[in-house]
Structure 1
Amino acid sequence: MRVAGFGCRPGAPIEALRDALARTGMQELSALATIPVRETELTALARALDLPLHLSEVAGITTPTRSERIQAMHGTGSIAEAAALSACGPGARIIVTRVTSTCGRATAAIAERKETP
């Protein structure tokens, strides 16, 4: 299972989200994820990609990268990484740390969990 997690500014356009996702280099995904207050921004992308959108609480999730501003506001170092990890579930790991869209309005990260037979 591979999940793309996203963080973004309020009102970030779908083009910024697509750009951030493209910068991860991942094409095969199982789902998208973000925090509940960013559902509006991510819904159009999830529909366009025909993928489910998971809304995740991210406080307390340890991430490979860390923004002091995001840590203070949301209790985690990266919304994109934490949302991806949360949506993947136990045993998930980040395989692409957060990347930022060219315009700076969106971030994306990829988490993966190996399926057990």
Structure 2
Amino acid sequence: MIVAGLGFSSAATVDSLRAAYDAAAASRDVTALATVADKEGHFALTVFAEELSLPLHFVGAADLAGQRTLTCSTRSRATYGTGSVAEASALAAAGKLFGLGARLLSPRQISDDRLATCAIAIGGQT
């Protein structure tokens, strides 16, 4: 099972999320979206998830801290204790939803407007 983790600013639009997702997901068969719980209720995120017809999972900030990411944003590190909200969300959700052994398929991709990031993880891997 494949999860797309999203990180984004409060100014992100549906287009921001779509651009990051499209760059990261490519031709992968994504089965769920995930992001940090404090993003719940963000209008663009809700619309985007509905457009894709994918379930949206919210990960607690404590579950992001300590996740090993491939990239590092100083803002993400300072706010959430992880190098990438997108990567950590994807890993945490894939591990929780689909079994231990989640791993990233690629580092986060950044939207052209730099307002959103997306990373892809697969769960149930050994």
Following superposition of structure 1 onto structure 2, how do residues 1-117 of structure 1 map, counting pairs within 5 Å?
A: 1-24=1-24, 25-39=26-40, 40=42, 41-57=44-60, 58-89=64-95, 90-114=100-124
Q: Conserved in 1, the CA contact under 8 Å of 2:32 and 2:56? A: yes
Aligned partners of 1:94, 1:115: CA distance in 2, in Å? 10
Q: Distance in 2 between matches of 1:115 and 1:84?
A: 14
Q: Which amino acid aligns with 1:52?
A: P
> Could you list the per-position Cα deviations for residues 13-66 of structure 1 after superposition, in whole angstroms to 9, with x for gaps in the alignment?
000000001111244111000011222242211111111001012122121111
Distance in 1 between residues matched to 2:69 and 2:5, nearest whole Å: 12
Aligned residues: 116
Query: CA offsets, 1:55-106, max 9 Å, x none?
Result: 0121221211111221111110100000000110120000021010011100
Q: Structure 1 residues 115 and 68 mapped into 2: Cα distance closer, same or farther (>3 Å)?
A: closer
Given that 2:76 and 2:83 are in contact with CA atoms closer than 8 Å, whether structure 1 keeps it comes out as yes
Q: TM-score, normalised by structure 1?
A: 0.91
**TM, length-normalised to structure 2:** 0.85
Contact 1:3 1:88 in 2 (8 A): yes
Contact 1:34 1:42 in 2 (8 A): no
Q: Does the residue aligned with 2:76 lie in a helix, a strand or coil? A: helix
* C-alpha RMSD over aligned residues: 1.6
Name the aligned partner's letter for residue 96 of structure 1: S
- In 1: Cα distance, 2:104 partner to 2:20 partner: 16
Letter in 2 for 1:62: R
